[in-house]
Amino acid sequence: MDYSDLLQETTFALLSNKVRSGLTILGIVIGIGSVIAMIAIGQGAQNSIQASIQSIGSNLIVVMPGSQRSGVVSAGRGSATTLTQADADAIASDISGVAVAPDITKRYQVIVPGQNTNTQVIGTTPEYVQIRKYDIAEGSFITSDQVRSMARVAVIGPTTASDLFGDGVDPIGKIVRINGIDFNIIGITVSKGSSGFLNQDDFLIIPITTAQHLLAGVDYVSTISIQAPDQNSMADIQQQITDLLLARHRISNPQSADFSVMNQADIVSTASSVTNTFTILLASVAGISLIVGGIGIMNMMLTTVTERTREIGLRKAIGAKKRDINLQFLAEAILLTFAGGFLGIVLGFLLSLLISNFMGMATQVSLFSILLAFGVSAIIGIVFGYYPAQRASKLNPIEALRYE
């Protein structure tokens, strides 16, 4: 009996009892469908979280100041003022392939005639635009000449622009006043949108020298952003930065460093592990229904074997071997679960479409979940079809033929 015959015999047997076959695979359809939909929801959530983290900048490493200590009293994380422009320059010159942008960020009251707002003013260098993935909608970003000459120019975020000037007004060329100093707006960025409670469009960017000397009157920097050339070199570069800054700050024990180096991948992986747990939870609940579906298949196959005892006896009488009978019933179970798996994938697709359209959740049906569904349904067919097929193949032909 070759495989095309086997397939034909199998489909024939299943189609001759359509209603029962249909009802039996329903369990598998629902199981596979919900596994696919749940994985799609999890994957969608993970993607949107990752995308919003990625929009801060890719391959980003941030050096933040640590806590300032006077004696045993710690002033809390981020309070140290030990990071300097020189540290940033050292990172840029000693570590190859990186882009470095130090910044000093403080909140100020920003005033235009008839309007004012409180926003964060980021004093930084021209590299910042590339590292933090800002796009300039109109005008230009600050230049290194402007940094060197402490120019009083500012690039404005779209939210700040509409707060100060109203919607639809071109802010370029307008003057804003911060701490009594006038700044000329030279550019506006493209909106990044808000990620949760964090509005990424509410800021002013000015040259770092201007921010340090004219506004704050200090010479430290609040953070240093570093862009690694690729994902793989992140860990290595992070280590190099740590070593370099420890040496520059003359700290021998890494535990007492006055800065911390954070990796964007760490944030992504933390977020991913949360959504992964969530996905596994959803999928395992759905997986339980798959097992129930599999038991349904086994139940039906056992009934079928009993019902078709005489047929099995006849097949043996006309020369079918144990193996032939075994294969036939196993194939019936596998074909059932495959059909169920296929319909389940369609159902899962529809479910995830419905969820993303009507509930506004991002979903993504991955190839992985489809392959998983097919694999699982095949395994269910084999596992739950094995015992009934064994029973069929072991029937004694004489007794099977006499069975009433």
Partner 1 sequence: MIEIKNITKSYYPGGVEAKVLKGISFTIKDGEFVAIMGPSGSGKSTIMHILGALDSPSSGEYFLDGKDVSKFSDDELADIRKNKIGFVFQAFNLLPRATVVRNVSLPLIYAGIPKKEREERAIKALRSAGFDESRFYNLSNQLSGGQMQRVAIARALVNSPSLILADEPTGNLDTKTGDIVLGTFQRLNAEGKTVVLITHEPYVAEHAERIIHIKDGSVLEDKKNENKRVIKL
Per-residue interface string for the shown chain with partner 1, residues 14-43, x marking contact by CB under 8 A: --x---------------------------
Q: Does 320 bind partner 1 (CB under 8 A)?
A: yes
Stretch that binds partner 1, among 82-90, 319-327, 329-337, 366-374 (CB under 8 A): 319-327
Nearer to partner 1, 109 or 396 (CB): 396
Q: Does 148 bind partner 1 (CB under 8 A)?
A: no
Q: Does 322 bind partner 1 (CB under 8 A)?
A: yes
CB of 384 to partner 1, least distance (A): 25
d(CA 43, CA 368): 11
Stretch that binds partner 1, among 214-222, 268-276, 317-325, 374-382 (CB under 8 A): 317-325
Nearer to partner 1, 174 or 391 (CB): 391
Using CB under 8 A, pick the residue from 173, 319, 358, 359 that binds partner 1: 319
Per-residue interface string for the shown chain with partner 1, residues 260-299, x marking contact by CB under 8 A: ----------------------------------------
C-alpha R_g of the chain = 33
253-277 residues labelled b (16+ CB within 10 A) or e (exposed) = eeeebbbebebbbebeeebbeebee
d(CA 87, CA 259): 11
Q: Does 321 bind partner 1 (CB under 8 A)?
A: yes
What angle (nearest 5°) sits at the alpha carbon of residue 101, between those of residues 97 and 104? 160
Q: Which of 192, 183, 108, 131 is nearest to 153 (CA)?
A: 183
Structure tokens at 66: 């640590």
Q: Which of 388, 281, 397, 293 is nearest to 33 (CA)?
A: 293
Nearer to partner 1, 18 or 250 (CB): 18
d(CA 19, CA 32): 20
d(CA 39, CA 219): 50
Q: Does 11 bind partner 1 (CB under 8 A)?
A: no
Q: Does 7 bind partner 1 (CB under 8 A)?
A: no
Nearer to partner 1, 99 or 401 (CB): 401
Q: Does 401 bind partner 1 (CB under 8 A)?
A: yes
- List the interface residues with partner 1, window 324-343 (CB under 8 A): 324
Contacts 24+ apart (CB under 8 A), 51-55: 52/195, 52/196, 53/195, 53/264, 53/267, 53/268, 53/271, 54/264, 54/268, 55/133, 55/192, 55/193, 55/195, 55/200
Q: Does 167 bind partner 1 (CB under 8 A)?
A: no
Stretch that binds partner 1, among 2-10, 61-69, 239-247, 290-298 (CB under 8 A): 2-10
Structure tokens at 223: 């953070």
d(CA 329, CA 390): 9
CB of 22 to partner 1, least distance (A): 16
Residues that bind partner 1 (CB under 8 A): 1-2, 5, 9, 12, 16, 310-311, 313-324, 397-398, 401
